[in-house]
């Protein structure tokens, strides 16, 4: 609602109770205000109360600070002032100096006098006599806040001299302490010359409740804006004992009017009797009147001047405020500059009063104490010193300069803070008046030109937000801060004392990790279970300090209370942050004590490094290599140190906010300390750097183990294997000498140190020593165990042979073959095996003697050795007994074989008779039952005769084994040759007759004409052969010929059967057959071969065969076409994601291409066939589809290969910036490619994927664009190569990799060895400055100058040309220095001081010069000896420990010197 000034306020409406009154223009309003709720009214300045009568107004809820503009002259209200909080009684124009004698019943307890700032108490000096009749006994003084009257109380001793008549007997509970504290604390800060200023400051002005309230002496420890509201005092009694209204007064008037009160003897104009008697009354009265008049006149003049100044300042401030609230339209920067320069020039023209300069200097020098200033942060200086080189910082000449600079910095800091505090206080216009400062020097400020965009609204909004979000002075937050400082500020997450007490240092990193986890868990428990609940209790206990922020009605904003809790959470988060930072610093100090490192020099000596180590580092060998690994490794420990800091940081990652405890269900957490913060990362970095100084010690100590490298790298093991694998094998004496050397080596290893303290680390070599000792012992054991094993194998082999011989010759053979085999084995054992075993036993005896000195044999080996020497005698007895058993067994076998042969001959005669009877069978009529019976008999006879043949073969085999003549068994052979044809004849006859009915009378749709034809031909051939073989069986021969005739007769129907059984016959073909036969022929009407024969089709077989052939070929073509389509229906492209591009590429398309080529050729062949007419259109469409697919696939793959080549190139911003036209084309190609691949990945079937609209055209356009892009790319690379020709040594891919990352010069490193033969890498500083070059052997050659690749603006070839030039310049300079150093440095030391190329070059220079000099002076032999000495010195160097680069250089120099 718009409350304009012209509205009629006739009466109050109940509907206005929730209205926001802050923007209402009250001037001219005269309304009945009795029922108004004023709690929401903020702006009273424009209200004219002259016509308002509000006898029932409730003022208790009014919190207004803007009463200064209210016109009170016409207000007739009986106000209850006890509930008015924050009212400024210093209303302009109001005179408070009236007579108060009638206010004996006033309730003053609810009035806050601390805010009364404009009252002129000095004018009451003549009126205090009016107070003598006041009854103060009923006044409640206990609630009055006198602390704000500090300036008044100081002057009452001289001003208020008339309080002697006041009765204070009823005044109890007044707090005077604040007045004395303020006077005593701030009096010394000002000189005596400023007493008057201070008096006026504290006596006639009050400190502001806005900007300066934090810094005024009376409000140093208060924040008035954040103080909780006072509870309204109980309503006073408005009636006096007589029933009349007594307070507030019925009318306040602007015009000063004195009330007539009871006259005291101190009033002006009253002469005391004693004065009258002394005749001094007249003089005294005149003097007093004169002084009073002078004082009043001076006061009025001073008051008027101050009021004028105050009004002027207020007008300016109001104008500034209004200008700040106005929205400013965007202004051109040049116009802004002119305006701002004009303003600054005008400001600089303003004059500053000298007395103001004196006051300002005094306030800066003495008015602000040091305890009000934040101390200078020491880490600023520390950070600044880090940027100074150590040689300058530690130089004694600069110590005094550094000391003076530090003092100057701190003085500037203090002065700047003092000036900032004073300027900040003077932002409040009331502070200018209070401090009695009227002018201030305006510095020539920085001119800020704003961007021509709207900004004012955001500024105003932000300013208002800040004003409502500052709660740090709230009692709750102060209590929380005190709770932390008193009870929890001593906490540390991981106290170092705990580490020393609970761990035996040095410790394993796992143990330290577990302890840190426990400490972190404990501190989490303290924070969550003790500290945060106590903070929540403070909130509940001091609810009155923040509940006024909670909205009282539904729908009101929660912003204030949310802001308050955010402030509380920020405070709690800062305290947790303090805990984390202290803990991190504690851990850092614990680690930094080891920053001196552990570099012990050339050789380690005990007690050199005497600090207690922290972490145990084990040394472990790398299997098969002369290398060691540390457990944990340096990288692992470095990561572990970071992990310790991270664990401490993680303590604060999930600390709940106060709201989560006060209001369950809320899961908000505090803002944690993060590892990514610069301060935290610097701490971690410092700890890691302190550890890094302790890495060199373990590596250096490992030089102690160089003599044992041959053990670790397997050389000892290989040597032993080579020794043992010699051919012939070494003698036992050689083994004895080698084992002796191993024992001496083990004694040396046992004397090595197991634990080595190295500052931060404790090097644990115990496991390494054990491994070395064990490796030597194992190598020794290999040789010993070899002989033990060889001896065991030899003995076991001997015993096994004896046991095998004993078991074998003791067996009882069951068959003739076993008997013969055993006899042969018996003879071999007696003649050969026993002799060989005796030789092996002699070798075993030598081994036993060797092992008794070097091995401890097991009981099994001892038993085995003894058994070897006992076996020969035992074996002789076993062989003798076996010989007798075998002779007896042979006689028994020969008798059994004779009996078996006689029984077999009798069985053959019986079976021959049965066969002869079967041959004579000749049935006159062949029935199905006869055929089945005879076929079964023939089968049984064949089985019996085959069994007889097996028995005969077994008898012959036994006869051969026993060296007897084998029996012939003639009858058996005749029986076998007689039964075979008979069985085949009856089987074939039965098969034909069973199939004939099915073939001739059954449905032909179930028949396979091809198989029937083959089967009939096979039957005919078989019966034809059998008819000639069965000459001795007439009946069987007749049957074979008869059945053969039937088969031959059925053969004539085979062509017709082929025709009607053709699967390719369609309806059109049956119509053709019907036309040829003259009869309507269909498979339904004529379902069998017999029906077709009876229909007379046999005479049309030739013509029908033509129709069948045509149908067969058409059917074959149609089936092939359908087969191709079915095969392609399931063929899919294989799409795989390509890198991180978000698209796909085709893979494994070779099979698809091969299949496509085969199908196209097949389709073209089929389309050329004369039998394709019935489906020629379908065939043509399929052929076109395949050809189109082939064209698409060819274009697709070509596009894919080119796109894959160019995609990573044009993914680089550098390339795209340098080739904009090609980049635009590639972007178009890339878009088309991604759309095609997205469609393909959606449905991967080949037939569907190639149906993408316009796919072939799009791919061909892409290929054309890609050709243009490649041409442009090649031209671009050619320009780069012409600028830096060494780029010709690189492939296009390598060159593009360099050019695609021009912002990172390090990307050139992998390709330098191709551009420069001797340069493997360039030496980059952390600032990416090139200061040298390195070879593959890590030999570094510093450059004479520096190269800054970033200055090339991305042109790699430009700074590479500089590298090439700097390489030549640097080598020339180094050669010059090396030539000069050759004479002053010993040669064996000189060759190690310079790069290898320089050594070889300068060496040749001096060799040539010295040779020429020797030839001229005829001292060649002397020079030869010198050369020999130099070569010997170089050889000595090579035999020592050299770096790889130095070793290569010296070897090359030796070769050159020798030749």
Mean pLDDT of the chain: 75
Judge whether residue 247 has pLDDT over 90: no
Looking at residues 873-894, what average pLDDT do you find? 83
User: What Å distances lie between residue 481 and 14, 475, 485, 534, 1050, CA to CA?
Assistant: 46, 10, 6, 12, 119
1444 vs 181: CA distance, rounded Å: 81
pLDDT at 520: 93
| Cβ pair 848, 784 in contact under 8 A | no
822 vs 882: CA distance, rounded Å: 10
Q: Which among 179, 180, 113 has a CA at the least distance from the CA of 145?
A: 113
pTM of the complete model: 0.38
Helices 1150-1167 + 1101-1129 axis angle, to 10: 150
User: What Å distances lie between residue 289 and 24, 133, 242, 880, CA to CA?
Assistant: 50, 24, 39, 170
Looking at residues 1162-1167, what average pLDDT do you find? 81
pLDDT at 914: 82
Looking at residues 415-431, what average pLDDT do you find? 87
| Cβ pair 649, 674 in contact under 8 A | yes
pLDDT at 1355: 76
1162 vs 1431: CA distance, rounded Å: 80
Looking at residues 1210-1229, what average pLDDT do you find? 82
Secondary structure of residue 1228 in the 3-state scheme: helix
| Cβ pair 1167, 1179 in contact under 8 A | yes
Ramachandran assignment for 1093, one of left (phi > 0), alpha (psi -120 to 50 degrees), beta (any other): alpha
Judge whether residue 708 has pLDDT over 90: no
Chain Cα centroid distance, residue 1105 = 80
Judge whether residue 600 has pLDDT over 60: yes
Judge whether residue 315 has pLDDT over 60: yes
Secondary structure of residue 141 in the 3-state scheme: coil
Looking at residues 610-617, what average pLDDT do you find? 88
Judge whether residue 851 has pLDDT over 90: no
1005 vs 1083: CA distance, rounded Å: 8
**Residue-wise pLDDT tens digits, 227-240:** 444 444 444 444 45
Cβ count near 368 (within 10 Å): 19
pLDDT at 1244: 87
Percent with pLDDT over 90 in the chain: 5
Print burial letters for 1071-1091: b (CB count within 10 Å at least 16), e (below 16): ebbeebbeeebeeeebbbbeb
583 vs 526: CA distance, rounded Å: 15
Of 149-158, 374-383, 689-698, the range with the lowest mean pLDDT is 149-158
449 vs 332: CA distance, rounded Å: 9
pLDDT at 580: 92
pLDDT at 697: 86
869 vs 873: CA distance, rounded Å: 9
pLDDT at 265: 40
Secondary structure of residue 1340 in the 3-state scheme: strand
pLDDT at 96: 39
Of 206-215, 699-708, 719-728, 1053-1062, the range with the lowest mean pLDDT is 206-215
pLDDT confidence bin for 1449, thresholds 50/70/90: confident
Angle at the Cα of 506 (from 505 to 512), degrees rounded to 5? 80
Please indicate whether residue 576 or residue 288 has the higher confidence score (pLDDT). Answer: 576
Percent with pLDDT over 70 in the chain: 78
What letter does residue 268 receive in the DSSP assignment?
T
pLDDT confidence bin for 826, thresholds 50/70/90: confident
pLDDT at 141: 43
pLDDT at 1358: 78
Angle at the Cα of 721 (from 716 to 727), degrees rounded to 5? 140
Of 376-380, 432-436, 1170-1174, the range with the lowest mean pLDDT is 1170-1174
1365 vs 1344: CA distance, rounded Å: 11
**Residue-wise pLDDT tens digits, 561-582:** 888 888 888 899 999 999 999 9
Secondary structure of residue 761 in the 3-state scheme: strand
pLDDT at 516: 92
1013 vs 1061: CA distance, rounded Å: 12
Beta strand pairing call for 761-764 and 615-621:
parallel
147 vs 1289: CA distance, rounded Å: 89
pLDDT confidence bin for 324, thresholds 50/70/90: low
**Residue-wise pLDDT tens digits, 777-816:** 888 888 888 888 888 888 888 888 888 888 888 888 888 8
Of the CA atoms within 13 Å of residue 327, those in its CB half-sphere come to 7
pLDDT confidence bin for 666, thresholds 50/70/90: confident
Judge whether residue 976 has pLDDT over 80: yes
DSSP annotation string for 716-742: HHHHHHHHHT-SSPPPHHHHHHHHHHH
Judge whether residue 118 has pLDDT over 50: no
Looking at residues 504-520, what average pLDDT do you find? 91
What letter does residue 472 receive in the DSSP assignment?
T
Q: Which among 708, 695, 689 has a CA at the least distance from the CA of 617?
A: 695
Q: What is the dihedral of CA 633, 639, 640, 642, to 10 degrees?
A: 150
User: What Å distances lie between residue 690 and 585, 618, 697, 1285, CA to CA?
Assistant: 14, 20, 13, 47
Q: What is the gyration radius of the CA atoms in the chain, in angstroms? A: 60
Q: Residue 629 pairs with which residues in a beta bridge? A: 620
pLDDT at 327: 55
Show contacts of 291-295: CB within 8 Å, 24+ apart.
Answer: 292/126, 292/268
Sheet holding 755-758, edge to edge: 628-631, 615-621, 761-764, 755-758
Please indicate whether residue 299 or residue 163 has the higher confidence score (pLDDT). Answer: 299
**Residue-wise pLDDT tens digits, 468-506:** 677 887 888 889 999 998 888 889 999 988 888 888 888
DSSP annotation string for 551-579: -SSTT---HHHHHHHHHHHHHHHHHHHHH
Judge whether residue 518 has pLDDT over 90: yes
Judge whether residue 93 has pLDDT over 60: no
pLDDT at 271: 45
Judge whether residue 77 has pLDDT over 70: no
Please indicate whether residue 321 or residue 845 has the higher confidence score (pLDDT). Answer: 845
pLDDT at 123: 37
Judge whether residue 662 has pLDDT over 50: yes
pLDDT confidence bin for 116, thresholds 50/70/90: very low
pLDDT at 86: 35
SS3 content of the chain, % helix, strand, coil (to 5): 65, 5, 30
pLDDT at 137: 41
**Residue-wise pLDDT tens digits, 1326-1372:** 878 888 888 877 788 888 787 887 777 667 777 888 888 888 888 88
Judge whether residue 371 has pLDDT over 90: no
Judge whether residue 679 has pLDDT over 80: yes
Cβ count near 219 (within 10 Å): 19
Looking at residues 382-392, what average pLDDT do you find? 84
24 vs 626: CA distance, rounded Å: 92
Beta strand pairing call for 1340-1347 and 761-764:
unpaired
Helices 970-1001 + 859-919 axis angle, to 10: 70
Please indicate whether residue 623 or residue 251 has the higher confidence score (pLDDT). Answer: 623
């Amino acid at each position: 609602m718009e409350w304009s000034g012209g509205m009629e306020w006739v009466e109050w409406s109940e509907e206005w109770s929730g209205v926001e009154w802050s923007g209402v223009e009250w001037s001219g309003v005269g309304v009945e205000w009795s029922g108004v709720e004023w709690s929401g009214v903020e702006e009273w300045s424009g209200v004219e109360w002259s016509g308002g009568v509000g006898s029932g107004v409730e003022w208790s809820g009014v919190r207004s600070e803007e009463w200064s503009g209210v016109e009170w002259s016409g207000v007739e209200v009986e106000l209850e002032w006890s509930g008015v909080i924050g009212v400024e009684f210093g209303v302009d124009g109001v005179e408070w100096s009236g007579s108060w004698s009638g206010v004996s019943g006033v309730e003053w307890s609810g009035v806050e006098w601390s805010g009364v700032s404009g009252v002129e108490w000095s004018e009451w000096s003549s009126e205090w006599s009016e107070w003598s009749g006041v009854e103060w006994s009923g006044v409640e003084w206990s609630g009055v806040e006198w602390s704000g009257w500090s300036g008044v109380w100081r002057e009452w001793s001289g001003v208020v001299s008339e309080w002697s008549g006041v009765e204070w007997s009823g005044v109890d509970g007044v707090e005077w302490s604040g007045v004395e504290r303020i006077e005593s604390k701030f009096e010394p800060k000002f000189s005596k010359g400023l007493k008057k200023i201070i008096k006026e400051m504290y006596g006639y002005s009050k400190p502001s409740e806005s900007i300066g309230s934090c810094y005024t002496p009376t409000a140093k420890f208060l924040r008035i804006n954040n103080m909780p509201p006072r509870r309204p005092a109980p309503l006073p009694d408005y009636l006096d004992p007589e029933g009349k209204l007594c307070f507030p007064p019925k009318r306040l008037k602007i015009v000063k009017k004195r009330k007539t009160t009871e006259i005291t003897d101190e009033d002006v104009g009253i002469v005391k009797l004693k004065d009258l008697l002394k005749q001094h009354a007249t003089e005294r009265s005149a003097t007093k009147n004169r002084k009073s008049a002078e004082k009043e006149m001076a006061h009025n003049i001073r008051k008027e001047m101050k009021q004028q100044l105050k009004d002027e300042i207020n007008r300016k401030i109001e104008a500034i405020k209004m200008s700040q609230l106005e929205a400013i339209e965007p202004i051109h920067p040049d116009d802004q500059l002119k305006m701002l320069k004009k303003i600054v020039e005008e400001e600089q023209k303003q004059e500053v009063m000298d007395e103001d300069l004196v006051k300002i200097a005094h306030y800066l020098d003495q008015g602000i104490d040091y305890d009000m200033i934040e101390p200078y942060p020491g880490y600023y200086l520390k950070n600044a010193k880090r940027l100074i080189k150590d040689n300058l910082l530690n130089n004694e000449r600069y110590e005094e300069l550094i000391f003076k600079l530090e003092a100057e910095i701190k003085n500037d800091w203090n002065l700047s803070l003092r000036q900032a505090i004073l300027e900040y206080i003077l932002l409040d216009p009331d502070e200018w008046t209070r401090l009695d400062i009227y002018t201030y020097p305006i510095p020539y400020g920085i001119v800020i030109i704003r961007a021509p965009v709207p900004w004012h609204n955001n500024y105003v909004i932000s300013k208002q937000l800040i004003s409502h979000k500052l709660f740090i002075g709230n009692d709750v937050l102060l209590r929380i801060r005190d709770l932390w400082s008193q009870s929890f500020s001593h906490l540390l997450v991981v106290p170092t004392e705990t580490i020393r007490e609970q761990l035996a240092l040095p410790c394993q990193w796992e143990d330290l990790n577990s302890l840190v986890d426990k400490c972190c868990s404990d501190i989490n428990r303290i924070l969550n279970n003790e500290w945060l609940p106590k903070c929540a209790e403070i909130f509940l206990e001091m609810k009155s300090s923040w509940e006024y922020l909670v909205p009282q009605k539904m729908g009101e904003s929660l912003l204030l209370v949310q802001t308050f809790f955010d402030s509380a959470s920020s405070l709690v988060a800062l305290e947790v942050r303090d805990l984390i930072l202290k803990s991190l610093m504690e851990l850092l100090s614990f680690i930094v004590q080891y920053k001196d490192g552990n570099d012990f020099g050339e050789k380690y000596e005990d007690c050199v490094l005497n600090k207690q180590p922290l972490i145990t580092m084990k040394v472990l060998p790398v299997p098969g290599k002369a290398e060691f690994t540390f457990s944990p490794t340096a990288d692992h420990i470095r990561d572990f140190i970071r992990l310790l800091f991270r664990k401490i940081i993680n303590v604060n990652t999930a600390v709940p906010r106060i709201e989560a405890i006060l209001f369950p269900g809320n899961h908000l957490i505090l803002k944690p300390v993060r590892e990514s913060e610069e301060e935290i990362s610097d701490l971690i970095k410092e700890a890691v750097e302190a550890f890094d100084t302790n890495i060199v010690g373990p590596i250096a100590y490992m030089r102690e183990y160089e003599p044992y490298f041959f053990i670790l790298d397997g050389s000892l093991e290989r040597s032993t294997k080579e020794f043992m694998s010699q051919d012939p094998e070494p003698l036992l004496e050689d083994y004895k000498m080698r084992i002796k050397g191993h024992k001496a080596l083990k004694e040396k290893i046992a004397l090595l140190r197991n634990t080595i303290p190295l500052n931060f680390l404790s090097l644990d070599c115990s496991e390494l020593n054990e491994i070395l000792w064990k490796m030597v012992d194992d190598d020794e054991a290999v040789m010993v165990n070899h002989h033990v094993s060889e001896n065991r194998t030899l003995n076991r082999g001997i015993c096994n042979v004896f046991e095998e011989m004993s078991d074998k010759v003791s067996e009882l053979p069951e068959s003739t073959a076993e008997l013969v085999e055993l006899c042969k084995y018996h003879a071999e054992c007696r003649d050969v095996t026993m002799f060989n075993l005796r030789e092996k036993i002699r070798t075993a005896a030598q081994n036993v003697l060797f092992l008794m000195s070097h091995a401890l044999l097991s009981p099994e080996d001892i038993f085995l050795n003894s058994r070897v020497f006992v076996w020969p005698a035992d074996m002789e007895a076993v062989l003798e007994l076996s010989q007798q058993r075998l002779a007896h067994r042979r006689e028994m076998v020969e008798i059994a074989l004779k009996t078996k042969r006689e029984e077999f001959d009798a069985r053959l005669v019986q079976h021959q008779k049965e066969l002869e009877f079967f041959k004579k069978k000749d049935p006159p009529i062949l029935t199905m039952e006869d055929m089945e019976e005879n076929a079964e008999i023939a089968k049984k006879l064949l089985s019996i005769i085959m069994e007889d043949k097996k028995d005969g073969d077994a008898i012959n085999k036994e006869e051969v084994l026993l060296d007897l003549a084998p029996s012939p068994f003639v009858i058996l052979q005749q029986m076998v040759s007689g039964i075979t044809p008979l069985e085949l004849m009856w089987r074939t006859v039965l098969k034909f007759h069973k199939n004939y009915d099915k073939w001739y009378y059954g449905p032909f749709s179930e028949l396979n004409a091809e198989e029937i034809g083959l089967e009939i031909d096979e039957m005919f051939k078989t019966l034809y052969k059998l008819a000639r073989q069965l000459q001795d069986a007439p009946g069987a021969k007749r049957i074979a010929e008869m059945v053969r005739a039937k088969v031959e007769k059925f053969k004539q129907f085979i062509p017709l059967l082929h025709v009607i059984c053709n699967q390719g016959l369609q309806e059109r073909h049956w119509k053709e057959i019907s036309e040829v036969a003259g009869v309507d022929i269909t498979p339904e009407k004529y379902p069998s071969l017999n029906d077709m024969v009876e229909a007379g089709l046999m005479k049309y077989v030739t013509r029908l065969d033509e129709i069948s052939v045509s149908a067969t070929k058409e059917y074959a073509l149609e089936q092939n076409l359908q087969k191709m389509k079915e095969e392609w229906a399931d063929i899919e492209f294989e799409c795989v994601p390509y890198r991180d591009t978000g698209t796909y590429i085709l893979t494994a398309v070779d099979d698809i291409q091969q299949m496509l080529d085969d199908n196209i050729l097949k389709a073209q062949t089929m389309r050329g066939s004369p039998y394709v007419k019935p489906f020629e259109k379908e065939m043509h469409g399929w052929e076109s589809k395949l050809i189109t697919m082939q064209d698409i696939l060819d274009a697709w793959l070509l596009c894919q290969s080119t796109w894959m080549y160019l995609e990573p190139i044009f993914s680089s911003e550098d390339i795209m910036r340098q080739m904009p036209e090609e980049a635009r084309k590639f972007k178009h190609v890339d878009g088309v490619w991604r759309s095609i691949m997205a469609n393909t990945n959606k449905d991967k079937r080949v037939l569907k994927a190639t149906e993408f609209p316009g796919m072939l055209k799009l791919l061909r356009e892409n290929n054309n664009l890609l050709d243009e892009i490649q041409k442009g790319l090649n031209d671009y690379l050619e320009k780069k190569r012409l600028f830096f020709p060494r780029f010709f040594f690189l492939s296009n891919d390598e060159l593009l990799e360099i050019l695609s990352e021009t912002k990172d010069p390090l990307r050139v490193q992998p390709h330098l060895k191709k551009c420069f033969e001797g340069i493997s890498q360039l030496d980059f500083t952390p600032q990416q400055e090139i200061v040298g070059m390195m070879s593959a052997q890590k030999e570094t050659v510093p450059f004479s100058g520096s190269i800054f690749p970033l200055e090339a603006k991305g042109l790699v070839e430009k700074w590479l040309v500089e590298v090439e030039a700097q390489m030549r310049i640097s080598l020339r300079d180094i050669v010059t220095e090396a030539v000069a150093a050759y004479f002053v440095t010993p040669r064996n030391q000189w060759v190690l001081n310079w790069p290898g190329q320089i050594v070889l070059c300068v060496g040749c220079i001096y060799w040539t010069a010295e040779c020429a000099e020797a030839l001229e002076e005829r001292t060649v032999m002397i020079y030869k000896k010198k050369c020999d000495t130099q070569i010997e010195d170089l050889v000595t160097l090579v035999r020592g420990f050299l770096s790889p680069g130095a070793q290569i250089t010296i070897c090359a120099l030796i070769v050159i010197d020798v030749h």
